[in-house]
Amino acid sequence: MRHISFLAVLMTALSMSAAASTCFIQSASINFGEYNPLDRKMVETIGRVSISCESDSQTGEIPVSISLVRSAETTSGHRIKSAGDSLRYDLYIDASRTITWGDGSGGTQFLKGTVPLSNGRGSRDFNVYGRLLPGQPSAGKGQYHAQLTLSAEW
């Protein structure tokens, strides 16, 4: 059995709104728990992406779009690594895990929503749904970690 978790790191943030506003991804995490390479079941979990914003507007909402940027080496799914081993997983924006979270290419979609403002500040948590693919017996024991690149527009 191995324990699998990772944190995502914000790499890019672009402001697209007319009002002066700033948003930051406060945290992004998902934990797959223990993985048994001999188990043929998919491991599914729910994670969270938290974003907070400040704006010159005291009330209202800030529309945000968060993309999961795939690296050049990642054409199908993602990999979390430990030593020389890796495990494949995917992330989705819907609970039924049919809409792959990504950068808009290859059928993937952005994580979209609004951040409500009160006194010029607001925050919101977005659910992210993970699936660790079954039958990966070549992966050894250990702590597996991944670093994701997220891009946010508001």
Provide the pLDDT for residue 142: 67
The two beta strands, 59-69 and 121-132, are: unpaired
Indicate the number of domains in the chain: 1
Provide the pLDDT for residue 13: 42
Which domain does 111 fall in, by range?
A: 2-153
pLDDT of 1 above 70 = no
Tokens standing for residue 92: 């989705």
pLDDT band at 98; cut points 50, 70, 90: very high
| Alpha carbon distance 126, 152 (integer Å) | 13
Provide the pLDDT for residue 37: 76
| Alpha carbon distance 45, 36 (integer Å) | 15
| Arithmetic mean of pLDDT over the chain | 80
Tokens standing for residue 120: 């010029």
Strand partners, 102: none
Higher pLDDT, 44 or 95: 95
C-alpha angle 104-110-115 in degrees, rounded to nearest 5: 155
Provide the pLDDT for residue 62: 95
pLDDT band at 33; cut points 50, 70, 90: confident
Contact between 102 and 75 under an 8 Å Cβ cutoff? The reply is no
pLDDT tens by residue, 63-97:
999 998 876 555 557 888 777 778 888 999 999 99
CATH of the domain at 25: 2.60.40.1090
pLDDT of 12 above 70 = no
Secondary structure of the chain as H, E, C letters: CEEEEEEEEEEEEECCCCCCEEEEEEEEEEEEEEECCCCCCCEEEEEEEEEEEEECCCEEEEEEEEEEECCCCCCCCEEEEECCEEEEEEEECCCCCCCEECCCCCCCECEEEEEEEECCEEEEEEEEEEEECCCCCCCCCCCEECEEEEEEEC
Higher pLDDT, 123 or 148: 123
pLDDT tens by residue, 129-141:
999 888 887 777 7
